[in-house]
Amino acid sequence: MTEHEIEAHEAEADERTMFGFWVYLMTDLLMFAVLFAVYAVLHNNTSGGETGRELFKLPLALTETIILLTSSFTCGIAMIAARQRKKAQTLVWFGITFLLGLTFLTLELNEFASLIREGYTLQSNAFMSSFFVLVGTHGLHITLGLLWMAITLGYVIKRGLNGPLVRKLALVSLFWHFLDIVWIFIFTIVYLRAFL
């Protein structure tokens, strides 16, 4: 095989992997859609407890949104560096992405903790159950994404930026962009809507 053929072969494998992962993301999106539907149906069923307007803090939600959006942006920049095989730049930008993601997760867990301290748990009412399940599922995805990112970056540090690793990073970044898009809807339907 000539070098050109190898390249073409790799590009095709690349495309197939991406498509497979895309199909997974779409099924994941369907799961989120169902959780959104559950939340939309149950968010008024507070059984006399406080509503989202009293429980949520809009500036906090906005901060989380902007942090996640920025991390999605830095992830894209990191991917451009990775495709150009610039190892140092890739590590720096993915490092920033990772830290932003960690900040986001910390803020979210803090919010959960303060709700639980106030006595609002998964068992409080239908509204709280659907809230914790929807936002918690997203948080779980973020946690897994961070773990995956960290492991892949560990390999990059150890082995350098080779073709298969760039492909893996591309999947991580696709996953990360996807989580940001899901968050836009959580921000809108869970947080903004509570203050209408």
Stretch that binds another protein, among 77-85, 102-110, 114-122, 153-161 (CB under 8 A): 77-85
Stretch that binds another protein, among 13-21, 135-143, 147-155, 156-164 (CB under 8 A): 13-21
Q: Check residue 71 for interaction with another protein (CB under 8 A).
A: no
Say how many CA atoms lie within 13 Å of 2 toward its Cβ: 3
Q: Which is nearer to another protein, 51 or 121 (CB)?
A: 51
Q: Considering only CA atoms, which of 136, 175, 170 is closest in space to residue 156?
A: 170
Q: Which is nearer to another protein, 23 or 151 (CB)?
A: 23
Which residues, 81 to 110, sit near another protein by CB under 8 A? Answer: 83
What are the phi and psi torsion angles at 46 (to 5°)?
-95, 0
Q: Which is nearer to another protein, 99 or 192 (CB)?
A: 192
Which residues, 48 to 67, sit near another protein by CB under 8 A? Answer: 58, 62, 65-66
Give the nearest distance from C-beta 55 to another protein in angstroms.
16
109 contacts: CB under 8 Å, gap ≥ 6: 139
Q: Check residue 181 for interaction with another protein (CB under 8 A).
A: yes
Cα-Cα-Cα-Cα dihedral sign, residues 126, 128, 131, 134:
negative
Give the nearest distance from C-beta 127 to another protein in angstroms.
14
Rounded Cα–Cα distance for residues 52 and 95 (Å) = 34
Q: Considering only CA atoms, which of 58, 67, 19 is closest in space to residue 183?
A: 67
